[in-house]
Amino acid sequence: MIKVGIVGGTGYTGVELLRLLAQHPAVELSAITSRGDAGTHVAAMFPSLRGRVDLKFEDPAAANLKACDLVFFATPNGVAMQQAPELLDAGVRVVDLAADYRIVDVAEWEKWYGMKHASPEWVAKAVYGLPEVNRNAIRGARLVANPGCYPTAVQLGFAPLVEAGLVEISGLIADAKSGVSGAGRKAEVSSLFSEASDNFKAYGVPGHRHLPEIRQGLSRMSKNGPVGLTFVPHLTPLIRGIHATLYARVTGEADFQALYEQRYADEPFVDVLPEKTHPETRSVRASNLCRISVHRPQGGDTLVILSVIDNLVKGAAGQAVQNMNIMFDLPETEGLWQLPVLP
């Protein structure tokens, strides 16, 4: 059994980790931390876990995380970079669900996240945890930087085109929408029901923190140099789900439907839909799936790719468990075959 700890178990990604790991046949949940809720039974805060998780939240300073085989950090940005190095030095493997180790250029990270990086020496050692692209490197990683939710949907949507060099990489456009849970489990006016319900808005248009992460990932895939990307996120009155509408101008001809089907033929968590179909966020709700469809409106020179995920599962906790499975040589799908919830 893999002894697992979770730092920051009270947020939305933390409880998703608990939901998935409580059903995982190869995992023993050893410690769950929360500085503000130490001593509280997990099931008292999350009744959905009653009878499945018989643990109390512990103060991070008191939890024996060094006895774990792997620790997930489901914490705000800036926490893992301070606490993870001590665990890594003790031989514990780490998956960080925040952004502390995603961007290789430390100065770029500090510009976008507005703080000094506490462990820049570990940035170069971290492996970016997008399994469909980095599977071999993840297998031997000690520290995995779990991708963000928007970056997962956008990169999986663009990857086959960018890898094949068939589109104009200087003018990629990602128009993406997220449910309110993407903002986290915190008291914030914009997340109040009366503010977010019956409303739709763009945000972060001048620049969003996920932009450099997406550009970095796509540029690594590109045969033709760094990509140029316009990324506009939107907030929708959904609890969970991301829908990314992606635009790319064609520079080379191919059977694009076949290109996507072949690229993802062996990927258990990427489903390329038949032609002329439209994926819906509800078709992936509570699952680790990314569903993609490929369109070429009116046979023109612009491709439209639709990519949907559950932001809390494939966009966070589910992908983190997928990475854990790879790191410990388990079947990649172990504990992750939950079907989407409908309605």
Angle in degrees, CA 257, 258, 263, rounded to 5:
105
Measured distance between the N- and C-terminal CA atoms of the chain, rounded to whole angstroms:
35
Closest CA to 83 of 91, 73, 93: 73
E strand or H helix at 159, and its extent?
A: helix 149-164
User: DSSP label at 207?
Assistant: -
- Between CA 52 and CA 45 the distance in angstroms is 13
* CA atoms of 101 and 118, how far apart (whole Å): 11
Tell me which H or E stretch contains 245: strand 242-249
Q: Are 189 and 136 in contact (CB under 8 A)?
A: no
The H or E element containing residue 194 is helix 193-196
Query: Reduced to 3 states, what is the DSSP secondary structure of residue 175?
Result: strand
Structure tokens, 45: 């805060």
Cα(292)–Cα(90) distance, integer angstroms: 41
Indicate which residue of 6, 53, 138, 149 is catalytic: 149
Residue 290: active-site member: no
Q: How far is CA 10 from CA 50, 55, 310, in A?
A: 15, 13, 19
- Residues identified as active-site: 149
